[in-house]
Structure 1
């Protein structure tokens, strides 16, 4: 009975509402479709259709990659030939198959039969194309506030209002989301040129920049609200496995009975950021539209990177991959603990913060300094310490901001300790300067 109910909900979704006019006009290239067929054809089939170079002309004989555990992954012969060749836009077929198995194993999406998966050049590429697929100039987008800075630069050229929803220690607050949507609905009733939002961007685990991780109950509340207002959820979750909780919180994808979640996963934070291997899972009509966009731009994501990722997954298997992810999480949790310890030592009384529940960042509020920009970007740089002013992550970056984002991913433990000590000195100096300015004014 449950399957029938889910299927009915999917059938009731009008995806044409979410796909803008430009994206809906894209058509598949016949040559790309033939490339897809070539990978599915029997070995005895003869094709004179593909305009591919012959692998015999490539100067590469073999690629050996030695892992830290001493195991070696080798690409040679026909496997290397495939790794250096054009592939279907959806992705390197063996990797697509592996990622589908992994995604189902982890999330068990209730609408899996109606879903598809597409390999992308890291999450940023997929998110950018998804936003470009959905919105037109002036259409609003729901975001969490503060938000990942890479989203604002995508949306800004569209002159789209950001319906910003504040966060607490567990991420976006459902009551504030509902309130924001109701307020915007009232504006739409008063101004016929305004439109209700079609998409919401959310970073639910180890959020950048706050480090917050959403609870299952909160995800369910937000999903219900998005169903009520007919909003697609862009679930950007690169830190999904880098959580510091006792248990992994199920994803929005795992509860998506209506087919309104586009989930973005990535190997950037756990295998290699430079490989640029990510994937998006969503309802088939949405994936088809995204695939056509990639067809028209760069044909497909790097085959070599995909082949290496697939080779690694075949070498390791899912159990070894999950073991590696646990090691990555332990690494960052240790760095987080070192960072919080240093902050307690040097910033107590000067700042406040919430202990990150995942990811690479801690979000720090400075007491008594209304705007940290000059303090960090001028006097801070002179002390040879670098933090990101909170302005970069706010829905309105022009407003004064007393927040700082600190990343504990790269700096060594001793460097983290020194940086927090210098930040404490910097804040005290800034407060002294502000006090003197105030005295001079009076």
Structure 2
């Protein structure tokens, strides 16, 4: 599975199960039929006949008054099986869009595949790369959805500490050197992969600078690490300039990148795509063949129509609107926190995304405070434990979302959180004094 463009033998990264995947003949014939001449006759597909479908047309009315009309042969296609890689017309647009935005080196040696949301792509990539008990490098804290993918593999999660600029290169090197020493002693093996959420990270809201990304990339090259670049918030940053992706820096073919329309177009459409070196993308396509055949055709046709109507500039203009919307909500949320949580908590202003990461002063572990007493106040926040590489340790952090609740609700929630923390301080002080009855303490 060597790749002449990059010179990497990708089979060294593959799990045993992934290396056993083989194409499904029926799926390969479906792919061939989409590129076949019009006069070609196929009795190979197991496709239902579209005349039996009860749908005549689909009309989607946009908020600007325009509409997307899906009917005739295009509707037939939208309701039908397609190649596992994706709807061919959309694939071409996604390739062009990715090339325009990221312009990665050696583009001819890469490809894309449509996935059922980024979660699907990340899941399939990790299943391709990780064996039971493998060491896996992750930023700490990390997106909770990645931890639940990895959990069945019982991996050795190596959490790399972050600062205001993302994961710390020195800490990454220390972790890798520790693994190297342990491996040389015969006690383990080196990590093959690092999971990163580099733009408006969930949950911290941190965006890596270009310099930090370059440092991390060089370290991964030195230690032969593949980078999983989960960038669901790439178009939801609040910076003056668009961040430079790891894909843009990838001269060696080490990056599998996950892009998503969930945060900026619709989460329910489950539209996302994965970009990476062709051998890795091909293996994930084989996994799709055996699991769900392909991502939703209808969703892909909708996006294809939208891109034909808007063009890339129209899509980017919509992204700009979404950024302005969430930035205003972030600013309101931070102002509310200044009003209600000052001196009780500390936080960094998120550079994008939908969340603020809050450290509570004077409370060693926030879990019971939030999940017991907080719920009684009818406020819900996520305890930071859910995002830590080791969720069993005490955690002072809280993730708060500013995406969905009304501004009035956000302000009320921050006020109640402040009251909850003050009550927790009283409770902890009285417990230290030997008074354990919570009800009498807070009465």
- Fold match by TM threshold 0.5: yes
Q: Given that residues 10 and 257 in structure 1 are in contact (C-alpha distance below 8 angstroms), is that contact kept between their aligned partners in structure 2?
A: no
Q: Which residue of 2 aligns with 1:373?
A: 367
SS of 1:241 mapped into structure 2: coil
Structure-2 residue corresponding to 1:3: none
Aligned with residue 17 of structure 2, among 10, 17, 22: 22
- SS of match in other structure, 2:111: strand
CA distance, structure 1, for counterparts of residue 100 and residue 259 of structure 2:
14
1:35 aligns with 2:30: yes
Report what 1:334 is aligned to.
328
Match of 2:171 in 1: 176
Q: Distance in 1 between matches of 2:258 and 2:109?
A: 17
Q: How far off is 1:8 after superposition?
A: 9.2
Q: Is the 8 A contact 1:210 1:356 kept in 2?
A: yes
Q: 1:291 aligns with which of 285, 304, 324?
A: 285
Among 389, 405, 427, the alignment partner of 2:421 is: 427
Kindly state the Cα deviation for residue 186 of structure 1 after the two structures are TM-superposed: 1.2
- Mapped to 2, the partners of 1:425 and 1:10 lie a distance apart of 59
Instruction: Describe the superposition over 1:326-360 as per-residue Cα deviations: whole angstroms up to 9, x where unpaired.
Output: 00000110010000000001111000001000100
Map of 1:87 onto structure 2: 82
8 Å contact 1:9–1:258 — kept in the other structure?
no
Q: 1:99 aligned to 2:94?
A: yes
1:307, 1:12 → 2: CA distance? 36
CA contact (8 A) 1:9 1:257 kept: no
Find the residue that maps to 1:56 and give its secondary structure. Answer: helix
Q: Is the 8 A contact 1:205 1:243 kept in 2?
A: yes
1:169 CA displacement: 1.1
Whether the 8 Å contact between 1:31 and 1:50 is mirrored in structure 2 is yes
Q: After superposition, what is the alpha-carbon deviation per residue over 1:238-294, rounded to whole angstroms, capped at 9, x for unaligned?
A: 100111111111100001000110000010001110111100000000011100011
Distance 1:204 1:11, change over 3 A: closer
Distance 1:384 1:51 in 2: 52
Structure 2 residue aligned with 1:344, among 327, 338, 353?
Answer: 338
Matched, 1:146 2:141: yes
Hey, what does 1:400 align to over in structure 2?
A: 394
SS of the residue corresponding to residue 324 of structure 2 reads helix
Q: 1:321 aligns with which of 295, 315, 324?
A: 315
Separation of aligned partners in 2, 1:188 and 1:354: 38
Give the one of 236, 242, 246 matched to 1:248: 242
1:62 equivalent to 2:78? Answer: no
2:420 and 2:15 map into 1 onto residues whose CA distance is 49
- Structure 1 unmatched runs, 5+: 1-6
- What is aligned with 2:154? 159
TM-score (norm 2): 0.97
Using the size of structure 1 for normalisation, the TM-score is 0.97
Assess if the C-alpha contact under 8 Å between 1:26 and 1:292 holds in 2.
yes
C-alpha offsets along residues 130-181 of structure 1, whole Å, 9 cap, x if unaligned?
A: 0000111111110000000011111111111011101111111111111111
Contact preservation (8 Å) 1:55, 1:85 = yes
CA contact (8 A) 1:231 1:260 kept: yes
Residue 9 of structure 1 deviates from its aligned partner by: 8.0
Using the alignment, how far apart are the partners of 2:409 and 2:6 within structure 1?
A: 55
Does residue 74 in structure 1 map to residue 94 in structure 2?
Answer: no
Q: Say whether the 8 Å CA contact 2:354–2:403 is kept in structure 1.
A: yes
Q: C-alpha separation between the residues in 1 aligned to 2:421 and 2:5?
A: 53
Q: Contact 1:391 / 1:398 at 8 angstroms: preserved in 2? A: yes
d(CA) in 2 for partners of 1:396 and 1:20?
A: 24
1:440 counterpart SS class: coil
For the 8 Å contact 1:163–1:180, the answer to whether it is kept is yes
How far did residue 11 of structure 1 move?
3.8
Which residue of 2 is the match for residue 271 of structure 1? 265
Query: Does the C-alpha gap of structure 1 residues 213 and 44 become closer, same or farther in structure 2, counting only changes over 3 Å?
Result: same
Give me the CA root mean square deviation.
1.3
Range 166-175 or range 331-340, more displaced: 166-175
Q: Distance in 2 between matches of 1:8 and 1:14?
A: 7
Q: Give, in whole Å, the separation in 2 of the partners of 1:165 and 1:24.
A: 29
* 1:50-85 Cα shifts (integer Å, max 9, x gaps): 111111111100000000000010000000000000
- Asked whether the equivalents of residues 30 and 83 of structure 2 are also in contact (C-alpha less than 8 Å), the reply is yes
1:239 aligns with 2:215: no
Which residue in 2 is equivalent to 1:203?
Answer: 197
* Higher mean C-alpha deviation, range 9-18 or range 336-345: 9-18
- Structure 1 contact 20–133 (Cα < 8 Å) conserved: yes
Q: Secondary structure at the match of 1:234?
A: strand
Number of aligned residues: 435
